[in-house]
Amino acid sequence: MIELSKLKILYPEEEIDKIVNELADEITSFYKPITDEIMAICILKGSIHFYSDLLKRLDMNVRYNFVHVSSYAGERSTGKIRVKTWVDESLTGRHVLLVEDIVDTGNTLRYITNYIWKQKPATVKLVSLFEKTVHDHGVNIDFVGEKIGDKFIIGYGLDYDELYRNLPYVGYVEAEEK
């Protein structure tokens, strides 16, 4: 468990709002000359709030789809990706936008993009609200909200052992203060 009274707020609600708005504008301008319809894939569960907020602000037709994968236990990536739910529509010829909450080792996105390309989509782009810059994860994220260091963050969809996803802000606790 995390002692919420010791939580340091990294991004309050209003700031997350601003970041999401900027990403939505950037993504809308990017697709305008290419297509008027995309398939946005939510990477569950962490991306749930980001996905919902971002898509409402995109000025184009958006098809919704979901994949559910997990790789984390507590604060660390286990390195093993488990797929629990996969997309339920054909991606062939679609403009796919993968929506992720945070990229750390890059394993999750690497795994998912590999499979998605096998279904012959027209394009695949990645958006992540946060990117950890401690690892050279080798994944090209097309749209990044904020780069953060080696912090384990919670809130706005991000969990610690399945809790705290519903916090409206993003925060962290220093290791020795948990």
Q: Give the active site residues.
A: 104
Whichever of 65 and 122 has its CB closer to ligand IMP, that residue is: 65
- Per-residue H/E/C for 146-169: EEECCCCEEECCECECCECCCCCC
CA-nearest of 35, 37, 33, 8 to 173 is 8
Buried b / exposed e over 157-176, threshold 16 CB at 10 Å, is bbbbeeebbebebbbbbeee
Is residue 155 a contact residue for Mg ion (CB under 5 A)? no
**Least Cβ distance, residue 92 to Mg ion (angstroms):** 25
Cβ proximity to ligand IMP: between 26 and 159 the closer is: 159
Residue from 67, 108, 156, 171 binding ligand IMP (CB under 6 A): 108
Partner that binds at residue 152, options ligand IMP, Mg ion, none, CB closer than 5 to 8 Å by kind: ligand IMP
Which residues is 86 bridged to in the sheet? none
Alpha carbon distance 21, 24 (integer Å): 5
User: What is the separation, in whole angstroms, between the first and last Cα of the chain?
Assistant: 8
Q: Does 131 bind ligand IMP (CB under 6 A)?
A: no
Residue 14 CB contacts under 8 Å (≥ 6 apart), including other chains: none
Q: 57 with 50: CB under 8 angstroms?
A: no
Using rule CB under 5 A, residue 131 touches Mg ion: no
Residues numbered 84 to 113 that lie near Mg ion (CB under 5 A) are: 101
Within 52-71, which residues bind ligand IMP (CB under 6 A)? 71
Tell which one of 158, 167, 170, 173 touches ligand IMP (CB under 6 A).
Answer: 158
Residues near ligand IMP, by CB under 6 A:
43, 46, 71-72, 77, 100-108, 152-154, 158-159
Binding site for Mg ion (CB under 5 A): 46, 101
